[in-house]
Amino acid sequence: MDGCSGNGAPRAVVVGGGIGGLTAAVALVRRGWRVTVLERAAELKPVGSGIGLAPNAQRALDVIGLGDAIRALAAWQGEGGLRTPSGRWLSRTDPQAAAKAFGGPMVLLHRATLIDTLAAALPEGALRTGESAELADPGAADRPAVVRTADGDIEADLVVGADGINSALRKALFPAHPGTAYSGFTTWRVVVPGHGRPFAPHETWGPGRIWGTQPLKDGRVYAYAAARAPQGGQAPDGELAELHKLFGAWHDPIPAVLEAAEGVPVLRNDVHRIAEALPAYHRGRVALIGDAAHAMAPTLGQGGNQAIEDAIVLAHHADPYGGLATGLAHYSAERLPRTMGIVRKAERTARLNMLRNPAGIAVRNALISAVSALGPAVALRSFADIATWQPPVRTYADQARKQDTARRQETP
C-alpha cells in the first residue's frame, strides 16, 4: 500500500488534537507527510490538570526535537514519596537514583504547556479546531481513506485515530470490540496557586482513596485524588466539598491545598480502561493511538506517555512514500503488547491503591516499607521496564542520516 495522493506530499489526517494526536501530527510532518489535525473542541485549552512525563515519553519527544523544551518548562521530580493519611512516610523517592535507573528525570508540567508546545511545532493551518470528524471509509491498498466533517469529506493516505477514550474511530474499525469498562473509581484534579509553604511532593494512600500533591515549575500546585465510587456520580454539594469530606483530615499540605482550591474549577472523571485488547491498532489506512487504542487507569501516570510513544513509533513506520500496509502492521505488532502490558499493570496498581480492608492495607503498607528499606534500586525496579523504553530512532536528524547512508551504499 503506497501513498495515493494526487499531488504534493501524501496526506495524513489526524482525528483528535490531544496529547497523542498533536505528537503524531508533529512527528508525521517531520517524516514528510502533509498533515491536517481535526479537533472537535473550539480551542485547545486543557484546564485544571498537570501531567507527569517519565523518561520514556521524554525520549519520544527528543525524536521530534521537543524534549529539551519540555524539560525546561517542567518541574523535575524532587525528594518526596508515599505516605499514609496521618503523614507517616511509607517510602521516600530518591530523584538521583530514579534518574540513574531510568536514564533521565521524571518531570511534571501543566497540560496546557505540553499542548501549546506541541501545537506551536505544527505548520500554520495544520490544526483545525471546531471540526468534529468521523470515519467514512478506512481505505485500502487501492483507495484512500475518507474522513467526514461538516465541511465535507477529506481523502487521506493515512488516518490517525487519536480521538480519546470514547473513540468513534475505534468503534468504526472494530465494531465487535466491547470498548471500555469502568475501573470502579473516580478521580479529581485541580491546579491551585502556590500556598507559599514548601512541601515534599507526595502520594498518600488511605482506605479506598488516594491523594497526590506535586509542584509545577511556575509555583502553582497540581493535586489529584481518587476514590472508589459508583459510576457516573456527582457530588451533591460540589466536588470541592466532596474532597474536603474525603481528604480534609489528612496530613499537611492537603488541607492547605483544599483551602487554596476555593473558587478554582475541580475536574472529576470516572476511570475507564479498555476492556480487552483490540485485535490490532490499525485497519486499512487507519491507525489508532493513545486512549483510543488502550485507555488505562492513571495509576502509573502512563496514559499520555504511551500516547506519545505510539505517535513516535507510528511516524517511524509510516513511510509517506511506500509500504504503508507493512508499516502499520509493524506499528501494531510493536505497540499492542507493550501498551496492553501497561494497561494490566496499571489495573493491578489500582487494586493496591484502592484497598479498603484494614488487614490488607496493613500487609500492603508493611511490604512497601520493607521494599523501600532495601534501597532505591529495588523500589525502582518495577517501573524500570516502562521508563527505560527507547524509541526506534534517536532523532529524525539521525534517521535522515541513516537513510542517506543506506541510499549511498545501494547506489552502485
Ligand X SMILES: Cc1cc2nc3c(=O)[nH]c(=O)nc-3n(C[C@H](O)[C@H](O)[C@H](O)COP(=O)(O)OP(=O)(O)OC[C@H]3O[C@@H](n4cnc5c(N)ncnc54)[C@H](O)[C@@H]3O)c2cc1C
| Residue numbers at the binding site for ligand X (CB under 6 A) | 15-21, 38-41, 51-52, 132-133, 162-165, 168, 187, 189, 224, 269, 290-292, 298, 301-305, 307
Q: Which is nearer to ligand X, 269 or 405 (CB)?
A: 269
Q: Which is nearer to ligand X, 1 or 300 (CB)?
A: 300
> In a 3-state reduction of DSSP, which class is residue 83?
strand
Residue with cell 521494599: 371
Shortest Å, Cβ 368 to ligand X: 20
Give the chain's radius of gyration (CA, Å).
22
Residues 6+ apart with CB under 8 A from 392: 312, 313, 316, 317
The one-letter code for the residue type at 108 is: L
Shortest Å, Cβ 306 to ligand X: 7
Q: Which is nearer to ligand X, 40 or 195 (CB)?
A: 40
Residue with cell 499537611: 252
Find how far residue 225's CA is from the centre of its chain: 18
Q: Which is nearer to ligand X, 106 or 260 (CB)?
A: 106
Q: Which is nearer to ligand X, 38 or 70 (CB)?
A: 38
Q: Which is nearer to ligand X, 1 or 226 (CB)?
A: 226
Q: Which is nearer to ligand X, 163 or 319 (CB)?
A: 163
Quick check: 44 and 115 in contact, CB under 8 A? yes
In sequence order, which ranges of 235-302 are alpha helices (DSSP H)?
A: 239-247, 254-260, 291-294
In sequence order, which ranges of 64-179 are alpha helices (DSSP H)?
A: 67-73, 95-102, 111-120, 168-173
Q: Which is nearer to ligand X, 220 or 325 (CB)?
A: 220
> Smallest Cα–Cα separation from 58: which of 288, 411, 387?
387
Q: Distance (Å, rounded) from C-alpha 406 to C-alpha 408?
A: 5
Neighbours of 20 (CB within 10 A): 31
> In a 3-state reduction of DSSP, which class is residue 214?
strand
Determine the angle formed by the axes of helices 303-317 and 55-63, rounding to 10 degrees: 30
DSSP state of 104: S
Shortest Å, Cβ 268 to ligand X: 9
Q: What are phi and psi of 258, to 5 degrees?
A: -60, -40
Shortest Å, Cβ 142 to ligand X: 26
Shortest Å, Cβ 36 to ligand X: 11
Shortest Å, Cβ 159 to ligand X: 11
Shortest Å, Cβ 329 to ligand X: 21
Q: Which is nearer to ligand X, 164 or 376 (CB)?
A: 164
Residues 6+ apart with CB under 8 A from 294: 274, 277, 278, 306, 336, 339, 340, 342, 343
Shortest Å, Cβ 150 to ligand X: 10
Neighbours of 378 (CB within 10 A): 12
Shortest Å, Cβ 252 to ligand X: 22
DSSP state of 288: E
